Structure 1
């Protein structure tokens, strides 16, 4: 059992190494294969326990940035909760392992688990999906065809098939739920099918690299992204919120005075105004001064009051003529970071939670913003990691993607690079140009193939002005919408039901009882005719 636990830990750490900052994405299928081998042949509860160890090794290291930025208590609580999902996947392994085609069913369960934990409990936590590690690899273009969910499924299936092939070289285990105990011919057939499946998946994933999806561009626009920066220590907007707003106002005014091509609109980041820009007189005046100077709409990131107990995190289109207009409200506030779940039952007043005096409400808008005559799909910070936000807006006609983010709380951690990798994958998935404005994180412009066309150094004040393409073509991934997730979820439920029935029958009926051998008849001495003849 110790060996299995060590293998589970190694698999979890390998999966962490697939993501930023180490970023060795080819470890993903190997880590999944090692996970499967670590629970091979185990009973229900033991399989869950070993899988839980895998989840602890992976998630506690994957989001170590939360300990560095938010606090140890939040890091432990969230990592432990997410590790439980991997433990739950482990519980399903003995249930489905004896079903024909088990790698397919187990890959579906893995991907379904990713989808569930991305939305539940409360706001969920999508960090750590297998597909999020694939930027800058030959398989990244496939996300335009199969989406994040489809890519995770194919990566998980590759790992499962590698495990099935590896088992054919390993000795059998108690329980006989793998190819280890099969005959030589059966082992060779299993190995051939598994490795053939791996090659087929790789071929499927590499086709888009040769013939990537290319959306027809119906026009172009010039967009300016402003990174205002924060005074040292650079990770506390609230301590310098007025200076942060002044930085963005001043940068926009300087842009207006520089001459050159005037942008069609300007993008400010999340929390560029950390107080209500409608009620705070100084903030309101600063925004109006910047918008009047540049003479085009500015998409302002502001915290807007929603009564005494709630606040909204919004992207607000501020027009030089008509003033504030269209708004996008962040869809997925972070539990225990931006709101306290079930506050009516408990109101924590300790640690970092003490600073959350008001709960952030969730937005529901699915239509794009209208900015300078352009339909823009907006997302705020963690929103970019959720499938529904940009997909729904693109499906309703968005021509361009924007991300307003702060990253200030995470500026000295690896979260910034992890989020930017996800952001680049969203550009590929949607087939759209994407513009990111960060307070002091990574501000940049991303092409539809995920290439970073321009970027600003973190913790600096900068303005990026770039011409971007506009398109209304839909990628296959956008057309599929939520259906890959729905199909895999339904398949997982069905397989678990069938597997549970078979598993229970095996437990109740381990096999035919062994019939004891009949007692041997007593030997009778041979008669005279049978007696050996002694020869002299």
Structure 2
């Protein structure tokens, strides 16, 4: 008999207190946890089967219900591995298996905590069946709040909210951001479980037609709420014409950086081609051109040839270019990942420069390098640590005020919100997917869709290799490019200057829901003490 098998048989006092029955048999719970992770995985791009997200939540909650903490943690970990290992497979394409394995196991550890917490609150769910869906939603929000911030600033990839880019729940982002969408998804999962669960010992409690009716009504109400939330540009203003230049790279992988002159030339040449089309009347002249992250890994402020090439492109197109550049300094051995505005005629506008605020640990900088080197010498691929910026990416181009975030920053609630609060009329995500694959790019585009709805802003994602595209404030995508191709897409975008409820309240919905999750854990502790 394993640790997972050794579950306590409830006493008559416990049955009276509202904790009847046993957990699911282990032979059912283990595959159920694995299927839960796979169901949640299928909800995310590139699969996009978003209804499976609440199904996965329900399966995991069923697997861990009434179990001891260690058992709940073990089952949560299994679900986490099934979810994150295939989802994050793109991290091993060019760096080997160790980073992928460590990251996947770390993220699965948070689902282990969730599994333990869900098992811990089982007495509450048994005593007040109607509270089960709410408990499920609160614990998921609390788990994501922790995972989004720890360690080294967290890794929010794979939040339930990011699986709902095509769901009727997406409009809820305008009310409470990603945490509210996650709560709604997990709440639906809890509702499904409430309908399906039957006590294993006390069949008299199977008279559940009233809870079933109430649960189905609540399920329909939550879905309808998402459909009724208004979305669109807040305080709609002028339209601007924006061009995304996806120049592509000579070859995918980490050595794209070795071809940095070719990458810069690709983006310059694509912009010059667009300028020729404008001159011929075949294309509308853009008010703004956006190049992706790493479009100039040669510092154009220090390399005259690189600066001259970018000036050539800006002068030809007659519009400012937002360049994704790697800039040297400020100190020796330091670099910055930046969005730099380059104006026609005058060149770089150093007053409109955004430095990435959240460099990726172990990819753009190496924390605890001496210790990390003992685990893998691969950390020395990062020769220079990227220095984080200190101010939000609010860039005033003239035609529009941009809210610039770079690559993975789109996953962090506060970094995107700071640009909108700072006056951004249009959200821009500069990214480089040359070291990943199309699945990663589509997962990132799903985040852009949520951010557009959350803040009532038109948005775009510009990638070196794809997927690039434009997103309307209600989350629709247009002009999406292929992967590993060179493309230029031009669209008109409407500027916004108002605020959604989510922009106004900021982090407070997540704080409130997380606080309630903590209260639920404390309440379960009190109930357990009374039973003891």
Give the structure-1-normalised TM-score.
0.87
Q: Identify which of 210, 213, 219 aligns with 2:238.
A: 219
In angstroms, what is the RMSD of aligned CA positions? 2.1
Is 1:485 matched with 2:510?
yes
1:350 CA displacement? 4.4
- Which of 205, 215, 219 is equivalent to 1:183? 205
1:462 aligns with 2:491: no
Q: Does 1:377 align with 2:403?
A: yes
Instruction: Tell me, in whole angstroms, the C-alpha distance in 2 between the residues paired with 1:329 and 1:442.
Output: 23
| Deviations 1:8-40 (CA, angstroms, capped at 9, x unpaired) | 011111111111222211111111111111112
Deviation at 1:233, TM superposition (A): 4.6
Which structure's CA Rg is the greater one? 1
- The 2-side partners of 1:481 and 1:422 are apart by 17
Distance, in Å, in 1 between the alignment partners of 2:517 and 2:140 is 9
Which residues of 2 match residues 93-172 of structure 1 at below 5 A?
A: 93-99=118-124, 100=128, 101-168=131-198, 170-172=199-201
Structure 1 residues 8, 234: closer, same or farther in 2, change over 3 A?
closer
- Number of aligned residues: 495
Q: Map 1:8-27; keep pairs closer than 5 Å.
A: 8-27=33-52
Matched, 1:311 2:311: no
Alignment match, 1:389: 415
Rounded to whole Å, the distance in 1 between the matches of 2:214 and 2:226 is 18
Counterpart selection for 2:297 from 274, 279, 296:
274
1:232 to 251, 274, 285: 251
**Whole-Å Cα distance in 1 between the matches of residues 248 and 393 of structure 2?**
30
Deviation (angstroms), 1:458:
2.2
- 1:36–1:498 Cα change, 3 Å: same
Deviation at 1:253, TM superposition (A): 2.3
Matches within 5 A, 1:297-308: 297-306=320-329, 307-308=331-332
Q: Is the 8 A contact 2:324 2:339 kept in 1?
A: yes
Deviation at 1:119, TM superposition (A): 2.1
Gapped regions of structure 2 (runs ≥ 5): 1-25
- C-alpha displacement of 1:349: 8.8
- Conservation of the 8 A alpha-carbon contact between 1:123 and 1:333: no
The answer as to 2:194 corresponding to 1:194 is: no
Q: What residue is the counterpart of 1:176 in the other structure?
A: none
2:363 counterpart residue number: 337
1:355 is aligned to 381
Match in the other structure for 1:525: none
Corresponding residue of 1:242: 261
* Counterpart among 87, 112, 130 of residue 62 in structure 1: 87
> Secondary structure at the residue paired with 2:341?
strand
* Secondary structure, aligned partner of 2:392: coil
Closer/same/farther in 2, CA of residues 87 and 350 from structure 1, 3 Å limit: closer
SS at match of 1:414: helix
Cα offset for 1:369?
Answer: 0.8
Query: Please, what TM-score do these two structures have when normalized by structure 2?
Result: 0.88
Counterpart-to-counterpart distance in 2, 1:6 and 1:346? 35
Alignment CA distance shift 1:442-1:30 (3 Å) = same
Distance change (3 Å), C-alpha of 1:244 and 1:360 = same
Instruction: Give the equivalent residue in structure 1 for 2:444.
Output: 419
Whether the aligned pair in 2 keeps the contact of 1:52 and 1:86 (CA below 8 Å) is: yes
**Alignment match of 2:426 (pick from 397, 400, 412):** 400
Q: Distance in 1 between matches of 2:285 and 2:399?
A: 15
- Equivalent-residue separation in structure 2 for 1:293 and 1:243 (angstroms): 19
Is 1:206 paired with 2:235? Answer: no
Q: Structure 1, residues 487-517: CA drift from partner, whole Å, max 9, x if none?
A: 11211222222222322443xx2xxxxxxxx
List per-residue Cα deviations over 1:162-202 (Å, max 9, x = no partner): 1122113x523xxxxxxx666344x4444344333322212
1:131-152: per-residue Cα shift (whole Å, max 9, x none)?
Answer: 1111123332332223211010
Q: Which moved more, 1:494-503 or 1:472-481?
A: 494-503
The answer for the alignment partner of 1:38 in structure 2 is 63
Does the 8 Å contact 2:455/2:500 carry over to 1?
Answer: yes
Measure, in 2, the Cα distance between the counterparts of 1:43 and 1:314: 49
Q: Shift of the alpha carbon at 1:348?
A: 5.5
Assess if the C-alpha contact under 8 Å between 1:348 and 1:354 holds in 2: no
Partner of 2:274: 255
